[in-house]
Amino acid sequence: MNTTKRILAIQSSVCHGYVGNRAATFPLQLLGWDVDAIPTVELSNHAGYPIVKGRTLSAEQILDLYKGVSAANPSGYECLLTGYARGIGSVKAIMEIVRSVKSKNKKAFWVFDPVLGDNGRLYVEESIIPLYREMLPFADLITPNGFEAEILSGMRINSIDTAFKCVECLQQKYKVPRVVISSFVVEENGVEKLYCIGSSIYSKSFFVLIPVIPGIFRGTGDLFTALMAAHIAESPDCTESLASIKEDKLKKSVEMALSSVHEVIQKTADRISALGVEEYHPAYAELCIVNSQNSIIAPSKLFEAVYYY
């Protein structure tokens, strides 16, 4: 009997590079998951390149693909991962799929990365924001970055304390059981610091201070969310409902995921340095995922999260 868990990943897809499902699929497979991947957009590469070709899938096309993979996989999914979607129709299609997956398996765990933008800039149309807010109560875990958490909560993050107030707002207002703000920068005593914080209704809130690696690296959030999905339900023979995982599983998952992502970024930065190129090109900064298999499976050094209170 096959005990491998199966995950449905719905987000962007690129032919070249590592963002969206290209950043998620291989790491998930390395960690023991069978992955069915549905694209919301099909692009030649990410938007950081000077030329981008491709297309946006319509809501009908996304739903049609789901009908196909759903028929091919009658046993359903243990986990659902959703990320970037372009347009109201695509977002509504994703919510329809979420309902379908959960109707077939009430224990299915939904990891929702509400991709809206970063660094003060929206990647999507503003009309998607209220739809995402409506979707939040159905998620088991959300992984916004700091900018996205601000938009969804309506609160400003300018310190670690205000970041936790933002998380508290999301949990109380939208009844999200687990919130991880994947990254945000605040100034402390004149120094910019990078944090990741997490909170579960089942355990204490925590934070991780992340060493900064200079550079522009796309797809890190997609990789982080995929690793979170893998680690929070890592045991293939787990009999406990994935939707009721308690204790400090969230904290441990964040420690593992962050440590892996940091090592992948460091390997990527080292490769750029070794190339010795004078003129930057986004291809040089594509994440070294294939060459980081050991870091994905078992990072050499684990970050240790600290309880907030």
Q: Determine whether the annotation assigns residue 26 to a binding site.
A: no
Neighbouring residues of 248: CB distance < 8 A, sequence distance ≥ 6: 203, 204
Residue with token string 């049609």: 64
Neighbours of 301 (CB within 10 A): 9
Do residues 54 and 41 touch, judged by C-beta distance below 8 A? Answer: yes
Q: Is 222 annotated as a binding residue?
A: yes
Q: Is residue 216 a known part of a binding site? A: yes
* 8 assigned ligand-binding residue: no
| 146 assigned binding-site residue | no
Rg for the chain, CA atoms, rounded = 18
Is 221 labeled as ligand-binding? yes
**CA geometry: angle at 202 spanning 186 and 263, to 5°?**
45
> Is residue 219 marked as binding?
yes
The response to whether 218 counts as a known ligand-binding position is yes
Half-sphere exposure (Cβ direction) of 211: Cα atoms closer than 13 Å: 11
Token pair in block for residue 52: 């981008």
- On whether 211 is known to bind a ligand per the annotation, the reply is yes
Contact partners, residue 132, CB within 8 Å, separation at least 6: 91, 114, 116, 152
Asked if residue 214 belongs to a known ligand binding site, the reply is yes
- Beta bridge mates, 53: none
Residue 142 assigned to a binding site: no
Taking the C-alpha atoms of residue 18 and residue 283, their distance in angstroms, rounded to an integer, is: 10
C-alpha 246/C-alpha 244 separation (Å) is 6
Is 10 assigned to a binding site? no
Q: Tell which residue, 85, 171, 170, has the closest CA to residue 124.
A: 85
Residue 272 marked as a ligand binder: no
Is 213 labelled a binding residue?
Answer: yes
223 close to 261: Cβ distance less than 8 angstroms = yes
| Residues that constitute the known binding site | 12, 123, 182-183, 209-222
| Residues that constitute the known binding site for ATP | 182-183, 209-221
| Residues that constitute the known binding site for substrate | 12, 123, 222
